[in-house]
Every structure is written in structure tokens, then in C-alpha cells.
Amino acid sequence: MSSIQKNLHKFMAVPAILLFILFFIYPLSYGLGLSFTDWDGLSDTKNYVGFQNFIDFFQDRRAIGDIKNTLMFGLLSPILLNIFGFLLALLLDKEIKGKNLARTIIYLPAIISPLIMGYVWLMILRPDSGFLFNVLQALNLENLYANWLVDPHKAMWAIIIVNLWQFIGYPMIIFLAGLQSIPTEMYEAAKIDGASSIQTIRYITIPQLMPAIQINIITNIINSLSVFEIIVALTNGGPGYYTEPLSLYIYRNAFAGLTGYSTAVAMVLFIIILIPVALAFKFFKYDNN
């Protein structure tokens, strides 16, 4: 490669580097600076308070509970999305009648706003007047109804299930693309060697799907740890604060005039997201080697 081509490649990278600095490095640096102040979001006064915002955060029992809620949703949801997305992809990769229609129906909810879909499910699960209650009442089975959204021990699971129903189409489509790129010769060779279906999936399908698995796990972790809209629609963080994630905690404090404090919490959330994503990158890099 000539020196002119090398310089051209470097020059072509400049726009991407500038965009990265403008939309990631600068906002992150500015937010980090705000996290050490008591700024209320409106006035020009920004008093330096050091690490006091972070100290206050980790001394707040509600905030610690919100960390637990965020981790519960942010780690369980990606696991379920990838498991069921993978199983659906295996099923819909086969030559079955109506598979294209099934793919469309499963993927369709994913393109709808989580806020809108959350309100739709709220109307379904609402006690006394919701669609599910009315159906059970018509069948004289209203005793089977449970108001999951106001039960502290069931509300988060209800949200996870609704989220799984809406977004299972994303990992399914990515897995399908990966499955269709696997050479059929590999499956034919495994069949000749007498490999069972489980062995074929374990030693051929899953290793060949590692790039798709990596994409799904990382994107689902990021999206799940920063969940906001669907919880606002279904429970608004309730009952009490049993389903309030850190994203909603940040939102409420920011509009309560605690912008400096909420920015500090946003930095904490950034670290919480960064750790599992970095571990996932390290794992997949090691696995590929």
C-alpha cells in the first residue's frame, strides 16, 4: 500500500472521529463535570460539591433498590430474549408453511414504541376493567385473575414478560440471518457422521452463530439496563419503588431541580452498563481466539 493510500485512509477516518468526539466524548466529559456540582438545571450557578452527589446516592436506600431493579431487568431480560429468540429462529428456519407470515407477526411489535405498547398492555392487565379480567369474568374464571402490576413480588416479572413479548423479534431476526449463512454442507457432513440434532446444534449451529450471539447479547444488555418507557407505561416505577429503574430515578431527580445529582447518577448508570458490555466483549474475543 502506497503512502498516498495510507494518508487517504487516515483522512477518511477523520469525520467518524469528529462525530465520536462531538456526540460521545464531549457530552460524557461535560456530564462528568456537572456530576460534581449542585446545578439545578436552570440557574447559572454551579457550585462544586466534589463527590457529595455520589456519596448521597449510595446512602439513599431508594437508589440502592433502583440498582437492584435495574440489574434484575437488565440481566434477566437479555437472557430470556436470546434463549427464546434462538428457539424461534431454529423453528422458523425450517421449511414450514406460513413461516414468513409468522416471522412478520413476531417481529411487528418490536417496531412499535415501548411507551405505546406498554399502555396497550396496561389496558389488558388493568384490574376490574382490563381485557384479561373481562375475558376471565365472562368465563366465570375471574378468581384466576391476579393484579400482577400492583404485586411487589410479581410486577417486575410482568414487565419482563411484556418486554419479552414485544422485543423477541429483534434477536430472532438476527439469529435467522446467522442460520441462513451457515453452509448446508456442514449439516450434511454431520448427518453422515451420525450426529444427533442436539450435537448438531452444539457443535455446528452455536459456534457458527457466535457473531449473531455477540450482537444480540451486547445490544440487549445496553437496551435492558437503560429501560424506561415500558416501565413508565405499566407501573410508573410502582408499587412504591419496587419496579423503578435508575433511568426513571434520574428523570425524576432532574425535573425536581437536582440536575447535578441526577447527572452523577447517570454516570453510575453508565458504569453499570459499561461493565457487563466490556465483559461480554472480552468473553467473545477470548472465545473467538
In the chain, count H helices and then E strands: 16, 0
Convert the pLDDT of each residue in 210-253 to its tens digit.
999 999 999 999 999 999 999 999 999 999 999 999 999 999 99
Find, among 154, 150, 127, 159, the residue nearest to 233 by Cα.
159
Predicted structure pTM score: 0.89
Please give the Cα distance from 17 to 64 (Å, whole number): 37
All domains of the chain in start order, with CATH? 53-288 (1.10.3720.10)
* φ, ψ of residue 146 in degrees (nearest 5): -135, 135
Using one digit for the tens of pLDDT, what is the confidence trace for 164-211? 999 999 999 999 999 999 998 998 898 888 888 899 999 999 999 999
